[in-house]
Chain A
Amino acid sequence: MRWLFIKDLQILRRSPLLTALLVIYPIAIAVLIGFALSRGPAKPRVAFLNEIPQGTPLVISGHQLDITGARGELCSRLDCVDVSNEEQARQMVQSGDALAALILPKDFIQDIESLASLTPSQPTVRVLVNEEDPVKASLVDDRINTLITQANLRLSKKVTRLAANYLTLLLRGGHLSLLGQTLNILGLQNTQQILEAIQPELPKDSPFAGSLQRVITFARLARQNLDLANPLLSSIAHPIQVKKDVVSGSPPSLDAFAIAVAATVTLMFATVLLVAGALALEREENAFTRLTRGLVSKWALLTEKVGLGVALSLVVTLLMLAGLSLFVHIDWGRFPLILAAVVAGGAAFAAFGAAIGAAAREVRVSSLLAFMISLPVAFVSLVESGTVSPGLYDVIKVVRALFPFDAALDAMSGALDAAGPALGTPVLHLAILVIAYGALARIALRRFA
């Protein structure tokens, strides 16, 4: 078996293009995936046209609001490119330079201010989008909706706070500035106190005693009930509050997860392709029959191929992790766990590759088959619960259990980050898959010669 292993390494050495492809391609893919996951989406580029005349204040019921702060907040979430007119905004969207254009019309401030008047008119923001691409269209819709919701929330908070101030004034009394004049508001609290002070002074048989008592009772009840209005208005400003309880799972950091995905994708492609191809090559070179005629048992041949896959997995994955550690932190103190995860994952992928190679029997077919099976399985394994229907997710869970990607990803996540899943279960899962795919490969070898 040792000599077969050395022979395979010699063949790899003699196939520099194949070796380079096996090593560089998965690493390139893995690094791309890793950074895509860890960096998250970039800020969408949006053309921003402000048609509001410069210096126009936003005043609601006598209170001036900070419109420049709102613009700053908006552009902290988007990559705003200021444009001077609508035509320029339209061109940017059409050419794809901007994902969308956001236009604040010149009467936008007046419309907002009218919300606090008796004749409100709804403020409208114009959005220009290019919907040639459905994914882009969906992204723009989501981002704009989120931003508008947040702007509405900010505005409603301001209006609610003003309304609460008026209520407080009505309740407790105070001064109100209106049209350049300062008005003194008595307030319900003071009204009740004044009436209660007058009440004992009235003769017992006064015809006004009953009426006075009714007014005092009204003032007290109104004050008590208006006291409840403030928290009610506050709850309208924040109708829904989020309280998050984690019922299962302790996710590793996004960086660790991205590295685990990258490492597992690397493991999968390098190992499955190599082992499937190496086994099919034994048949293409007509050597299989000669070897298994008594020189090497079929099980030994499979074990050698799995060993080759594990060796390559270690080299490629550790190289990739070393490269990634230049960009992101990798806890090398967990090296024994990383080693265990790579060996377990590599062995399972190698056994899977052996089954493909034995079934395909030709190098080209086995490579094609390896890609056709591995890619969808990897994508399916990254689908999260709740993002698809429960029935479909049940099917996905079965697919995940049958293929090594999910277990290898769990093992790698657990190995890279203490917050990740425990290593025991995925390693056991991978060991079972090694046996199962080894047995399938051995069965397929019956018709291999």
Chain B
Amino acid sequence: MIGQEVSGEIVIETRGLAKAFGDRHALRGVSFGAQRGELLAVIGPNGAGKTTLLSILAGIRKPDSGSVSRPPGEIGWVPQQAALYRRLTVAENLRLFARLEKVPDMDAAVEGMLAQTALTERRDDRAGTLSSGNQQRINIAIGLLARPAVLLLDEPSAGLDPRQRERLWDFVLALAGGGTTVIFSTHDLAEAERYGRRLLVLADGENLFDGTPPDLHAAVPESGARDFEQAFVAFLRERGH
């Protein structure tokens, strides 16, 4: 796990979030808070409610009950699949969303994001011609245009090769280092252990665990788990999932 500077100030907080799709309960009373500059990993098996939680935090879905306390200003949201126009260039995509976000100094924001994502040289390339890793970086850059206090990343490294992942996480760590709260969902437990300052374990919509990766290891002392993945599986089994 890599350490970040965390201010202690809660910037986003949920209380008793519940959401059902028909008979299926996607979330059951999920409560947590995240501090400024924190990197919070949301993990869990398929159908645990990770994407539903992030979409409620982003304001895309409304919870059936419970509340979300958001910070003033924009929450940056980066969907799992790159949400950008592939026939527009990198710069045109950034400019379009900067205009829609009503970013005050659009040109500076676009140039800043191009520099931050190391895509300045490819600014005039069509987004569709870039690799999936670079598309994901534009995807994140769009989510950051309005300088949000909280950035939500849904499976950000899905489909990326190891080198692209490394570059992505360097970028995300730099953001968190700059004070942006990053909440990300992932299937990759090694990634969660390595980059998540805190873990939120969801299963069948329930929040089963809220703590650090060593805390999760410690929660299953009798399991004999040799690594984080084994500890996670043992933890879920112990909790009946």
Q: Which residues of A contact B (CB under 8 A)?
A: 3-4, 7, 10-11, 14-15, 285-287, 289-291, 293-296, 449
Decide if A11 touches B99 in the complex (CB within 8 Å): no
| Supplied contacts A11-B88, A285-B85, 6 more A-B pairs, CB within 8 Å | A14-B88, A286-B82, A287-B84, A289-B83, A290-B83, A295-B101
Residues in chain A near residue B81, CB distance under 8 A: 286
Q: Is the CB of B142 within 8 A of A11?
A: no
Cβ of B210 within 8 Å of any chain A Cβ, yes or no, is no
> For residue A3, which residues in chain B have a CB less than 8 angstroms away from its CB?
96, 99-100
Could you name 19 residue pairs across A and B whose Cβ atoms are closer than 8 Å?
Answer: A3-B96, A4-B96, A7-B88, A10-B92, A14-B87, A285-B85, A286-B79, A286-B82, A286-B83, A289-B83, A290-B77, A290-B79, A290-B83, A290-B142, A294-B59, A295-B100, A295-B101, A296-B100, A449-B60
Count of inter-chain pairs, beta carbons less than 8 A: 51
Known: A3-B96, A293-B58, A296-B100. A287 touches B83 (CB 8 A): yes
> Are B59 and A293 within 8 A (Cβ)?
yes
What 6 pairs between A and B have smallest CB-CB spacing? Answer: A286-B83, A295-B100, A290-B83, A14-B87, A3-B99, A11-B87
Please name all residues of chain A whose beta carbon is closer than 8 Å to the beta carbon of B74 when the two chains form the complex.
294
B85–A11 CB distance below 8 A: yes
Say whether B86 contacts A285, CB under 8 Å.
yes
Residues of B in contact with A (beta carbons under 8 Å apart): 58-60, 74, 77, 79, 81-88, 92, 96-97, 99-101, 126, 142
Which A residues are in CB contact (< 8 Å) with B142?
290
**A7 — which chain B residues lie within 8 A by C-beta?**
85, 88, 92, 96
Majority DSSP secondary structure for residues of B touching A:
loop
A residues near B59, Cβ cutoff 8 Å = 293-294
| Alpha-carbon separation in the docked complex, A285 to B128 (Å) | 10
Give chain A nearest CB distance to B125 CB in angstroms: 12
CA distance A10 to B126 in the complex (A): 12
Report whether A291 and B60 are in contact in the complex, using a CB–CB cutoff of 8 Å. Answer: no
A274 to chain B, nearest CB (A): 15
Q: Could you say which of A3, A4, A290, A294 has the most chain B C-beta atoms within 10 Å of its C-beta?
A: A290
- Bound: A294/B81 CA distance, A: 19
Known: A7-B88, A290-B142. A285 touches B100 (CB 8 A): no
A4 to B92 alpha-carbon distance, docked (Å):
12
Alpha-carbon distance A360/B154, docked complex (angstroms): 26
Report which of A15, A289, A291 forms a contact with B87, defined as CB distance below 8 A.
Answer: A15
The residue on B at minimum CB distance from A6 is B96
Complexed CA–CA distance, A10 and B58 (Å): 29
Q: Closest residue of chain A to B92, judged by CB? A: A10
Chain A residues with Cβ below 8 Å from B60 are 289, 293, 449
- Chain A nearest Cβ from B75, distance in angstroms: 9
- Please name all residues of chain A whose beta carbon is closer than 8 Å to the beta carbon of B101 when the two chains form the complex: 295
Contacts of A449 in B (CB 8 A): 60
In the complex, what residues of B have CB within 8 A of residue A294's CB? Answer: 59, 74
